[in-house]
Amino acid sequence: MSRSGSLVDHRRKAIIDYLTVTGRCRIADLAVRFGVSPLTIRRDLDELEGQGVVHRSYGIAEIADPLGSPISSRMVMAKRSIARAAAQLVEDGDTVFVNTSSTALAVLEHIRAENVTIVTNNGKALQARPSSSISVILTGGEIRLPKWSMAGEFALDSISKVSAAKAILGCSGLSAEEGLTTLVSHETSINALMLERSERHIIVADSGKLGANSSFCYGSPSQVDTLVTDASANPSLLESLLDAGVGTMMRVEVQND
């Protein structure tokens, strides 16, 4: 990595750490604090917002997940580490479904396989920076804020015409009792169809989502071929998921990089 690239990454991590402590800050004040121009700080925030880490409104930046809930700096690092590990499961020539999860979207920038096609209903994929050997296809459909998800019959019709090798999906919760769940009702049918139209199902979920149940179910534990989570996951929860039918698990160490 170039020195300039390293400085940019270091500043963006520092922004995350600062907003984790303060909760929110004026964008103009962030520029002053980090000694860069307002344009530069807006570019940083564009990138972090694209990852679902930061939310901006009316000149204010705040730390948030895509649904606006508080998120810790360690959780951000966990999501990145999980995304990096999941990317290693993508093989040359794969077609891969990716849903609106910020962790699943982060996988795109870590894929090193060749001739990979990503099919996603995540509008924020337009801000991702995958390698030149990756093609990204948007499903289209009705845009739903704040996640920039694409939903409705148009999106479902697009997905129904694809047979994917893999689906890399995030969730709001995964439990032995309720399976894969989401907070957003209109994403249920999209996620379920991605599971149906793919051969291997890879679920990316930080340890805080394991054992949790959200409002709408889109899949059973037995549909999870591989769960990628962080090393702090509760062993008893992992055991219950295996008993419920989850195939294999990858527990990754959180890297502060």
6-15, 207-216, 239-248, range with the lowest pLDDT? 6-15
Q: How far apart are CA 233 and CA 205, in angstroms?
A: 10
Give the tokens for residue 91: 């093989």
For the segment 169-173, the average pLDDT, to the nearest whole number, is: 93
Per-residue pLDDT tens digits for 33-67: 899 999 999 999 988 877 667 878 778 888 765 44
Q: How far apart are CA 79 and CA 53, in angstroms?
A: 10
Q: What is the pLDDT of residue 72?
A: 55
For the segment 218-225, the average pLDDT, to the nearest whole number, is: 97
H-run or E-run covering 157: helix 153-160
Give the tokens for residue 81: 């580490």
73-82, 126-135, 215-224, range with the lowest pLDDT? 73-82
pTM, rounded to two decimals: 0.75
Q: Which residue has the tokens 């204010």?
A: 60
Cβ atoms 172, 103 nearer than 8 A = no
Classify 223 as helix, strand or coil. Answer: helix
Q: Residues 126-160, buried b or exposed e (16+ Cβ, 10 A)?
A: eebebeeebebebbebeebeebbbbbbeebbebbe
Handedness of CA 183, 77, 96, 152 (dihedral sign): positive
Cβ atoms 55, 25 nearer than 8 A = no
Q: Residue 10 CB: number of other CB atoms within 10 A? A: 10
Pairwise pLDDT comparison (150 vs 78), residue with the higher score: 150
Q: Which amino acid is at 35?
A: G
For the segment 153-181, the average pLDDT, to the nearest whole number, is: 96
170 pLDDT higher than 70: yes
Per-residue pLDDT tens digits for 71-113: 555 677 888 899 999 999 999 999 999 999 989 999 998 999 9
Q: How far apart are CA 227 and CA 204, in angstroms?
A: 6
Q: How far apart are CA 16 and CA 169, in angstroms?
A: 24
